[in-house]
Amino acid sequence: MIVGVPKEIYPGERRVALTPAVVPMLAKAGLEVAIEGGAGIDAGYPDAQYQEKGAKLLADRAAVFAQSDIIVQVLCNGANDKNGASDLALMRRGQLLIGFMRPLAAAEAIQEIARTGVTAFSVELMPRTTRAQSMDALSSMASIAGYKAVLIVASTLPRMFPMMTTAAGTITPSRVLVIGAGVAGLQAIATARRLGSVISAYDVRPAVKEQVQSLGARFIELALETQDAQDARGYAKAQDEAFYAKQRELLGKVVAENDAVITTAVVPGKKAPVLLTAEMVKGMAPGSVILDLAAERGGNCELTHPEETYVAHGVTIIGQINLAGGVPYHASQMYARNLTAFLQNLVKDGKVRPAESDDIIRDTLIAQGGEVVNGRVREALGLPALVAS
């Protein structure tokens, strides 16, 4: 079977789905790699490196789709809402498609994929189990985004992060608040701590308190009553508006005490909850910085402008998206390892394993035989549940 790697076409996207290092690993699993010329250059992987590892170089995108049994991408249609639909005409019935697709937030795009007849697997739906950990691309990219967020904040904030003793006296450390202690938030905490800032963190899930404290941050506890704060996959669950209103009221004072705030709160398939109001931004000191990692889903800050940097009340609000794409070399390396582990589990003895044989395959499968087959995506589309034959 041939695994095809087309060049990413989302504007500004520099990652590549597979790196040269994984080509021999896939060959051992009986999979040949065919890559579009130049697909890895922007990530730091020239064509020659792929050829040295045994990959086949193809001249154009159409050839990759035509000759490949499996197509792997970073951003497939759905996750690529700019021009991802242009690939639909290149897909064929029975071909496999694997990548980010944003299945719960872009369900209509999943219907478009399904109509091509491909068998599509969305990496966002990877189960959060020990066995699937090596395949968890969502966590890999979130970790990079958390790291990159801190670097952007540090370069924007008109203050230094660490405490320093200088000839001009002692410089006090910057204070940073991270809202949301998932993978991205925890990496942001760890990175900001290494740079020397004083870190605080808040999360609706009390269970993450120990993780936050283990990284040297203070865990903010608010007098809020919450039930069922996280779902079975470990993600925060959406709360009602009364909860968020009370949360904003209590968070206001905490936000005002910090020089920078990094927000990471998202709920799968839903608009990001607004945690920072315009009034809370107004209460921050001039020169403060907010980086909203939820910008792509509407933003945790009321004043966030997705894909833009905006100044309000003297506070810089950064709505940059796709932060993982800003570290393309290592982001591609991590993503390629996740995909390789997934492919090694998916294909055995030259054949694709049936979905019913494995929970990882079953949970990530979203389209097959011309229709959407994933229950969560069908629910998002308002389609009836499939009846088992």
- Residue 86: active-site member: no
CA-CA distance, 18 to 40, in Å (whole number)?
A: 8
Dist. CA 307–CA 24, nearest whole Å: 38
213 as an active site residue: the answer is: no
Point out the catalytic residue in the list 60, 67, 86, 133.
133
CA gap 101, 120 in Å, rounded: 9
Q: Detail the DSSP E strand segments found in the chain.
A: 2-5, 32-36, 56-58, 70-75, 96-100, 119-122, 164-166, 169-171, 175-179, 198-202, 218-219, 260-263, 289-292, 309-312, 315-318, 347-348, 351-352, 365-368, 371-372
Distance between CA atoms of residues 290 and 262, nearest Å:
6
DSSP string, 290-336: EEETTGGGT-SBTT--TTSEEEETTEEEE----SGGGSHHHHHHHHH
Q: Is 50 a catalytic residue?
A: no
Task: Pick the catalytic residue from 139, 174, 320, 333.
Answer: 139
Annotation marks residue 187 as catalytic: no
Q: Contact, 161 vs 174, CB < 8 A?
A: yes
* Residues near 329 by beta carbon (within 8 Å), at least 6 away in sequence: 43, 44, 45
Q: How far is CA 247 from CA 114, 210, 254, 259, in A?
A: 40, 21, 11, 20
Side chain identity at residue 40, one-letter code: G
Give the number of C-alpha atoms closer than 13 A to the C-alpha of residue 332, restricted to the C-beta side.
Answer: 26
Catalytic residue among 47, 81, 115, 128: 128
The verdict on whether 259 is a catalytic residue reads no
Q: Give the CA count within 13 Å in the CB-facing half-sphere of 55.
A: 32
Task: Give the integer Cα–Cα distance in Å for 275 and 265.
Answer: 9
Note whether 142 and 183 are within 8 A (CB): yes
Active site residues: 128, 133, 136, 139, 235
